[in-house]
Structure 1
Amino acid sequence: MKRAVTIVAVGGILALVSACSPAGSGAPASSPATAGPAYASALNSDVPDVMKDNAIPGVVVLITSPSKGDFTAEFGTAELGSDVAMSIDDHVRVGSNTKTMTGTVILQLEQEGKLSLSDPISKFRPDVPGGENITLAELAEMRSGLYSYTSDAGFNATLDSDPQKAWTPDELLAIAFSHPVNAAPGTEFEYSNTNTVLLGTVIEKVTGMSASEAFDERIFTPLGLKNTSLPAAADSSIPDPHAHGYQFGTNVSTIDSYAVPEAEQAGALDGTVKPVDQTKANPSWAWTAGGAISTPNDLAVYVKAMVGGGLLDDAEQKARFDSVQPIDPANPNVGYGIGIAQFAPGIYGHDGQLPGFSSFMAYDVTTGDTIIIGCNLSASPVTGENAAVVVAKSVIAELYGSSVVPPDDLEKDE
């Protein structure tokens, strides 16, 4: 997102990206897998390299692959300056991976005849500027043209000055609606957290329950996700075990880019420029656009069901895949649909980023491979890219070959 989720697609042809563990961090020795599939040795080398080159304190990697073999490993430190190892059981704020959950519930409600994707948002929120011409589908597909409240300077200043503020959806939407729209509905892809917060209000109005309750009843409980939740607005805690989460720079200074100024990059890499500990910052501002908490094991179960089937009937699942459109017409392999990203043909999922944490989840419908990455850093201070995506590029290159070239960052915002 910016502040809540970067759609950095790992697209069509993947390029081998050298990997990295932060210098000067006091990180403990990593705990890579000591045995496993043929690719394990390469990842045990590549991932620490990527961490070092991007000042990422800690990483967890979970891969399940029917043909290539399974792999689980933890690298780096869960707390800078302390000898605390990362754990595959750590809870992570999953950022914009939450958007896939919101999209799933919207599709379930259409399946039940309680709404239609062709409904205008004005049917549920008369206050949306031009809402009579914006459909629920356009919101879910990031084609509404509405301004994202997370780009507002005053909003970001409040995140810095009052990190424990419990935001309401109406406060967030008021910020968005105070700005002109960016485009006419349906004319262009533009990632906006406003879209998914609006869908969250639709879920609450149609179901008569909180979005947290709806997610739990419709997704978390049916899938047995005991370590996944969408916390209430006043709850800024994160369950144990969990790593400390870090971000270089303030929310105001990172509105345009998460990369630190060039003069500070060497310091970020050698540990003399310190990131901000954002572990306890209240993520209520992200809500149904990015506020969920999960674990790698839960995410693996979830993304397989979300992409492979189990949460929707066949018709709605097909509608979800059919909704995917290229983000950039020049790269048709990378697309976005109803709360779902296509990273390459047959590989779907999402990524997530908000202050302190980043994550990546993908499922390959052809091979049955699942890839989960969790990091306790928002973004690389060198490139500004989602830290988990930086690691994911290296992992995917190893799994699928180094002849593929990933696209540039498609969207900084979570």
Structure 2
Amino acid sequence: MTATNIGYRRWVRLGFALVVAYASVGVANSRIEYSTPEIRPPGLDIDAAVTPIVAGVMDLMVVPGAVVYVRTPSATWQHAFGTRTIGQRDPVTVGDYFRVGSTTKTMVGTVALQLVREGRLALDDPVSKYRPDVPDGAEISIAQLLDMRSGLYSYNESPSVAQAMDDDPDRVWQPEELLRIGLSHRPYFLPGKDFRYSNTNTILLALIIQQLTGADIGTVLADRIYQPLGLSKTTFPARGDAAIPSPAPHGYLFGTNVSSLASPRLSDSEIAATRAGTLPPTDVTSLNPSWIWAAGGAISTAADLAEYVRALVGGNQLLGKELQRQRLDSAEPLDRHNPATIRYGLGLESFGPMIGHDGAIPGFQTFMGYDPVADLTIVVLCTVRDGPAGGRPANEIAYGIVRKLNGE
């Protein structure tokens, strides 16, 4: 998710329009390689329905590699697209590991709610109860951290952080350092007065979780989520560990972290050059994920994320029935004048009927969603965060799939 409401709403609206355009013209990309689907269900031609959408988005948004997972009540389909490394015949496979960005926030949020269920934390607790150093912490609740309504400045919007990421991608950031940067800036608004997506919220929440449990966040996530759900391919890297388990694709970024603060869109001539293949993106695979830490550091596969989002949305295993229902009911529309738009609450997003979260970090972009009514699961993993003209490729692919499966 982007850091500003206006930009976020804009690319969502554009996303729905763009995927319809891609699907209607049947865009094909001769540069894209296709691996054999792991499952090709008889009687349900998901391949014919979905592949043109994926190919069209990848072509227009110059996405080097992707994995798409679709599960319906009657069939499961996985497909890998493209190459792990630009310029090489190195096909992505459905089992590849990806950085999954802000889907991590749902994991941290789930642990916080588990602590609420255990009576060790309360949604209306003021942040100052645990961190007296937070300005106006007595007015910020735990629920507002989860709902992105605290008003706290997102540290990654600081130009100095973006510049450091460009200049020193190996830098190991400390969580307290990230929090200090976020708290050093003027809040966007008074607590509870508006919605503003901020990584500072999740960093602070994870530090409170560590304080309450006495364990690092990676251990907490493994003990409370990954192991109980059998997510053997999902990990949270140790601080400073920039490696991704093998096999894994490279991750790419158009422009720079600094330029992306203003806009991820390149100039018209640069956009044309990227699509012609004469202006390749930058390989940012080795960017140390400590800069995002608990707000987006998890690593997973499409199949693991699919199992996770089904449990996150469709079951009571993680939170119990009462708290699970409270979480699902908490989502509020980002645009109060249009309740049909994206909703957010207690660490979950809803994209129409799909509930889950997306993730976007330099090099990778992720969508995971589950529709509990239709029993439809969609996971999309891409190896570029933004297209050269802007827009989030995994989200646009997912939107296109939903529309296609709904017969639109």
- What is the Cα deviation at residue 14 of structure 1? 5.9
User: Could you tell which deviates more after superposition, 261-270 or 77-86?
Assistant: 261-270
Percentage identity across paired residues of the two chains: 43
Asked if structure 2 preserves the Cα contact closer than 8 Å seen for 1:17 and 1:393, the reply is no
Aligned to 1:315, which of 312, 322, 329?
322
User: C-alpha displacement at 1:263, in angstroms?
Assistant: 2.4
CA distance in 2, matches of 1:325, 1:14: 20
Once residues 150 and 323 of structure 2 are traced to their aligned partners in structure 1, the CA distance between those partners, rounded to angstroms, is 21
Aligned partner of 2:374 in structure 1 is: 367
Match for residue 338 of structure 1?
346
Q: Give the CA deviation at 1:264.
A: 0.8
What is the CA–CA distance in structure 1 between the aligned matches of 2:218 and 2:205, rounded to whole Å? 13
What is the deviation of 1:162?
Answer: 0.9
Change beyond 3 A, Cα 1:274–1:4: farther
Per-residue deviation, 1:381: 1.0
Please tell me whether residue 107 in structure 1 is matched to residue 105 in structure 2: no
Matched, 1:265 2:289: no
Q: Which residue of 1 aligns with 2:171?
A: 165
| TM-score, normalising length: structure 2 | 0.92
Matched, 1:30 2:37: no
Deviation of 1:315 (Å)? 1.4
Deviation, structure 1 residue 330: 2.4
- Report deviation, 1:241: 0.6
CA shift in 2, pair 1:230/1:201, >3 Å: same
- Taking the aligned partners of 2:35 and 2:321, their CA distance within structure 1 comes to 41
**132, 135, 138: which one aligns with 1:132:** 138
The partner residue of 1:205 within 181, 186, 211 is 211
Q: How many angstroms apart in 1 are the aligned matches of 2:241 and 2:46?
A: 40
Structure 1: gaps spanning 5 or more residues: 403-414
Uncovered stretches (5+) of structure 2, i.e. residues with no partner: none
Q: Which amino acid aligns with 1:49?
A: G
Aligned ranges 1:2-401 → 2 under 5 Å: 16-18=20-22, 27=31, 29-31=33-35, 33=37, 35-36=40-41, 37-67=44-74, 69-309=75-315, 310-333=317-340, 334-345=342-353, 347-382=354-389, 384-401=390-407
CA distance in structure 1 between the aligned counterparts of 2:297 and 2:27, rounded to whole angstroms: 27
Residue identity matched to 2:132: P
TM-score (normalised: structure 1) = 0.91
Superposed displacement of residue 177, structure 1? 1.3
Q: 1:237 to 1:133 in 2, by over 3 A?
A: same
CA RMSD of aligned residues (A): 2.3
Q: Report if aligned partners of 1:103, 1:338 keep a CA contact under 8 Å in 2.
A: yes
> 2:32, 2:55 within 8 Å by CA — same for their partners in 1?
no
Q: Partner letter of residue 229 of structure 1? A: T
| Cα distance in 1 between the residues matched to 2:247 and 2:211 | 34
- CA distance in 2: counterparts of 1:339 and 1:3, whole angstroms: 15
**Bigger relative contact order, structure 1 or 2 (CA pairs below 8 A, ≥6 apart):** 1
Could you say what secondary structure the match of 1:395 adopts? helix
Post-superposition shift, 1:175? 0.9
Deviation per residue, 1:18-53 (Å, 9 max, x gap): 1599979xx462225494323321222221121111
Residue deviations 1:184-217 (CA, integer Å, cap 9, x gap): 1111110000001110101100111000010000
Say which structure is richer in helix: 2
Work out the CA distance in 2 between the residues paired with 1:253 and 1:22: 30
Local SS of the residue matching 2:311: helix
CA–CA separation in structure 2 for the residues paired with 1:317 and 1:88 = 30
Q: By how many angstroms is 1:74 displaced?
A: 1.2
Aligned CA distance change for structure 1 residues 17 and 30 (closer, same or farther; 3 Å)? same
Quick check: 1:3–1:353 contact (8 Å CA) kept in 2?
no
Report the AA paired with residue 122 of structure 1: S
Number of equivalenced pairs: 396
SS at match of 1:160: helix
Contact 1:4–1:355 (CA<8 Å) still a contact in 2?
Answer: no
Instruction: Assess if the C-alpha contact under 8 Å between 1:21 and 1:55 holds in 2.
Output: no
Q: Aligned partners of 2:32 and 2:146: how far apart in 1?
A: 42
Deviation at 1:124, TM superposition (A): 1.0
Secondary structure of the 2:22 match is: coil
SS in 1 for 2:239: coil
Q: Report how far residue 398 of structure 1 moved.
A: 1.1
